[in-house]
Amino acid sequence: MADRRFDIVLFGATGFTGALTAEYLARNAPAGMSWALAGRNAAKLEDVRRRLGDAWAELPLLHADSGDPASLRAVAEATKVVITTVGPYIRYGEPLVAACAATGTDYVDLTGEPEFVDRMWLSYHEQAERTGARIVHSCGFDSIPYDLGVQFTVEQLPEDMAISIDGFMRTKASISGGTYQSTIEILSRLRSGWKVAQERRRLEGDPAGRRVRGGVSGGPHPDEFAGGWVVPFPTLDPATVLRSARALDRYGPDFSYNHYAVVGPLPMLVGLSAAAGVAVVLAQIPPARDLLLKVKGSGEGPSEEQRAKSWFSIRFAAHTGDGAELRTEVRGGDPGYTETSKMLAESALCLAHDELPEGAGQLTPAVAMGPALRRRLVAAGIEFKVLDG
């Protein structure tokens, strides 16, 4: 890809998270890096470029439309890495994945949609392996802190040892408009998503001579280390962690991971469970689903002052086969916007510029980038640490 015109192209810069990603790249692009913004609305792209400041007045703007595969192919052929923030991905994401898989172009997104990730693996993984493209989904709060956090935890433990890890997610933040839209889409497609996931697992199989298991299990319970009542949390994140564990022998001969959300005191758990149940039911009914989708639109987000007060903490409790215990934490600021745009941009910078393990196809962040990306995120202010006691 030495003759590609750009190192990175950002598709979706006119959205809320896309604009934050553009701003992060403008502040942190290394000297000499060539990058561009892409989208379907030239006027909106020009407005984003204007907000980046005079230093980027000549930043190239490319036409790209998720409904125009030829435009996406042209973008993919012009760059080493494509970032996309255009979701929900189950609606708009496939044409760009197809273009990158066909042209050997690396790809990162911030999707938390399990069905989309599984469909893209089924359709494009083998082609991407042949062309050398690295298709890396979920490079935002879904699923970087969990995937790299578990990998960091494993690296602190002895090799060739059975390892069991519980992850506990706690946040104080507003949900993004894009995440809300994607969540409603996920809830409305639970049955089809389950079928696609089963087909992928059948084809993937298990690693030879090793056992990897987990995801979500058990029921709600109080946990002192987590800091409140916890509930199994069936998002894309535990699936991403387990895929990394299947791909990397360093996770040991017998690895398990279970994923929880911290929901505070028991009354809050009851209220959130009831609300989730209602949302699942309503998402199955088209008129009700349409109303839910209008509650919070993509591109909406909180003010800078509100984001400054937000934070996340992911704690991991690890146990080994010989009885040893280890506790770690990944911690950062506003997860849905500030830190997600940082993680997404640093993932693209990592793919474009760092020495990384060989590999192609659909890869998890830990498999594609692992410690190299973690070093970038630590330098950018996200904490990965071993806890005392």
Domain 6-141+339-374 in CATH 3.40.50.720: yes
pLDDT for position 172: 86
Number of other residues whose CB lies within 10 A of the CB of residue 191: 9
What is the pLDDT confidence band of residue 189, given thresholds at 50, 70 and 90? confident
Annotated domain spans of the chain: 6-141+339-374, 144-333+382-386
pTM for the model stands at 0.91
Q: Which two tokens stand for residue 338?
A: 């500030």
230 half-sphere exposure, CB direction, 13 A CA radius: 23
Percent of the chain with pLDDT over 70: 87
62/60 Cα distance (integer angstroms): 7
Give per-residue pLDDT as tens, 249-290: 999 999 999 999 998 654 454 455 545 554 555 556 677 566
- Asked if 236 and 138 count as a contact pair (C-beta separation under 8 A), the reply is yes
Highest mean pLDDT among 36-40, 111-115, 174-178: 36-40
> Mean pLDDT over residues 196-205, rounded?
93
105/131 Cα distance (integer angstroms): 8
Highest mean pLDDT among 18-27, 192-201, 307-316: 18-27
Closest to 113 (Cα-Cα) out of 203, 26, 180, 199? 180
pLDDT for position 267: 47
| Beta strand ranges found along 252-333 (DSSP E) | 254-264, 311-320, 325-332
109/112 Cα distance (integer angstroms): 9
Closest to 316 (Cα-Cα) out of 139, 117, 179, 157? 157
Judged by average pLDDT, the poorest of 26-30, 195-199, 274-278 is 274-278
Domain 144-333+382-386 in CATH 3.30.420: no
DSSP at 86: -
* Those residues with Cβ within 8 angstroms of residue 286's Cβ, 6 or more apart along the chain or in another chain: none
